[in-house]
């Protein structure tokens, strides 16, 4: 009996020691290019989906009309395109993150473009709260509720014909953002 208990105690002590040694010396994945842990994606998505099912708001607070699409496209350009790409161009940054960034203007076949198959309330939840340990930021302190709805309703309609006033923003090449956002550096820089 004494030996049995001793065995259990050693086992209980060895388990955390083994886990600690694996974290320190076992090369668990830390770099973007490292292989995912077994079932990593499934494990992180179960609680995310459960939470969204519980909390995502139902009806959108804005109409799916031209004004919404144009406002949404402006927000998308400023806040999202850098990671999620534009129509016809993938984001380079998005392909070099782990988890990778879904390209929201890319067609997946079956007529789905980006997250057009998700209800706008689900996208709204993700935009408002972000997705932990993924690089997806929470926008609830950056954008207003209306702005978060506008971009969510735009994305829910990514598979539909959008008005040219919105499309022009969504089709401009990504590097235009960098070119127009900052003034050119002074000519004598670095001298």
Q: Which spans of this chain sit near ligand HEC (rule: CB under 6 A)?
A: 79-80, 82-84, 97, 99, 101-102, 115, 123, 126-127, 131, 134-137, 139, 151, 155
The distance of closest approach from Cβ of residue 115 to ligand HEC in the complex, given in angstroms and rounded to an integer, is 5
The distance of closest approach from Cβ of residue 100 to ligand HEC in the complex, given in angstroms and rounded to an integer, is 7
Token pair 């699409």 in the structure block, residue = 69
Residues 6+ apart with CB under 8 A from 68: 62, 149, 150, 153, 154
Would you say how long the chain is, in residues? 191
The distance of closest approach from Cβ of residue 131 to ligand HEC in the complex, given in angstroms and rounded to an integer, is 4
The distance of closest approach from Cβ of residue 102 to ligand HEC in the complex, given in angstroms and rounded to an integer, is 4
The span from the CA of 170 to the CA of 172, in Å, is: 6
| Integer CA distances (angstroms), 156 to 76, 89, 124, 134, 139, in order | 13, 19, 10, 21, 18
**Nearer residue to ligand HEC within complex by CB, 113 or 191:** 113
**Nearer residue to ligand HEC within complex by CB, 78 or 167:** 78
**Nearer residue to ligand HEC within complex by CB, 79 or 87:** 79
**Nearer residue to ligand HEC within complex by CB, 73 or 80:** 80
The distance of closest approach from Cβ of residue 124 to ligand HEC in the complex, given in angstroms and rounded to an integer, is 9
The span from the CA of 10 to the CA of 122, in Å, is: 47
**Nearer residue to ligand HEC within complex by CB, 26 or 173:** 173
**Full DSSP string of 48-111:** HHHHHHHH--SS-SS-SSHHHHHHHHHHIIIIIHHHH-BTTB--TTGGGSSSPPP-TT-B-STT
């Amino acid at each position: 009996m004494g030996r049995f208990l001793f065995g259990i105690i050693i086992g209980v002590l060895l388990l955390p020691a083994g886990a600690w040694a694996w974290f320190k010396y076992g090369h668990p994945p830390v770099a973007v290019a490292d292989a995912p842990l077994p079932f990593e994606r499934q494990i992180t998505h179960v609680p995310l989906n459960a939470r969204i099912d519980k909390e995502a708001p139902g009806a959108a607070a804005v109409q799916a009309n031209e004004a919404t699409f144009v406002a949404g496209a402006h927000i998308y350009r400023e806040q999202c395109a850098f990671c999620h790409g534009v129509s016809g161009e993938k984001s380079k940054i998005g392909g070099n993150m782990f988890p990778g960034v879904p390209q929201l203007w890319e067609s997946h076949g079956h007529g789905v473009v980006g997250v057009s198959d998700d209800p706008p309330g689900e996208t709204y939840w993700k935009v408002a709260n972000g997705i932990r340990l993924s690089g997806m930021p929470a926008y609830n302190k950056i954008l207003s509720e209306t702005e978060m709805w506008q971009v969510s309703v735009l994305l829910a309609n990514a598979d539909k014909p959008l008005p040219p006033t919105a499309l022009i923003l969504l089709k401009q090449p990504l590097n235009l953002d960098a070119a127009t956002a900052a003034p050119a550096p002074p000519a004598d820089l670095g001298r």
